[in-house]
Amino acid sequence: MPKREDYRLRPITQEDLETVLMWRNSDRIRAVMFSDHIITVDEHLAWFRSINQREDVKCLVFEFECRPVGLMYFTQIDRDNSKCAWGFYLGEETLPKGTGSAMGFLGVEFAFVDLGVRKLSGEVLAFNTASIRFHKRLGFVEEGHFVEHVVKNGKYEDVLSFALFKDHWQRNKSELEALIFTKR
């Protein structure tokens, strides 16, 4: 099992952009994203400039043993209503078992501790069973089912909406942390 100190989240930097673009344009990642076109360098740079100017977005690189392996982002950060949405992906494929769970745990913790929200939401393409299991494993509950909500490969696909509340997280955090990380 992974050790907590092997993982961390940190703000994305200019130096990460080439790697992140490579991940994002990979067939594996594009297959489960709402927007799945090949992103150009110019689009990518415009996105980076945009997120650095916005107060309602935070983008973080997920590291394993000081090496970038994934991306996590928080959008629609709404301080008035104390909520936000998230998205994420592991860019690297050859990672220890449990790395995705570690990323999820740290991301949820970031949302509730660092961002201080009370509700974290996520949307998942209904065919993405791995992401659905992932959300449920972290304690998210399904809040909605949007029928034929987005177009993927010329076909309308359903989208599931998930949410996790801070109080539920706090009640289950220790148990989940013990399952994900090895204690020293």
Domains and CATH numbers, the chain: 4-180 (3.40.630.30)
Which DSSP state fits 38? Answer: P
Q: How many residues are present in the chain?
A: 184
Report which of residues 93 and 159 the model is more confident about.
Answer: 159
Q: How confident is the model at residue 17 (pLDDT cuts 50, 70, 90)?
A: very high
* Alpha-carbon gap, residue 19 to 161, rounded angstroms: 29
Give tens-digit pLDDT for 147-167. 999 999 889 999 999 999 999
**pLDDT (average), residues 26-45:** 92
Crossing angle for the helix pair 41-53 and 17-24, to the nearest 10 degrees: 120
**pLDDT (average), residues 112-139:** 96
* Alpha-carbon gap, residue 99 to 169, rounded angstroms: 19
**Which are the contacts of 97, defined by CB distance < 8 A and separation ≥ 6?**
none
Straight-line distance from the first to the last Cα atom of the chain, in angstroms, rounded to the nearest whole number = 12
Which DSSP state fits 57? Answer: -
Q: Above 80 in pLDDT, residue 100?
A: yes
Helix, strand, coil shares, percent, the chain, to 5: 40, 35, 30
**pLDDT (average), residues 57-84:** 97
Give the 3-state secondary structure of residue 141.
Answer: strand
Q: What is the pTM of this model?
A: 0.92
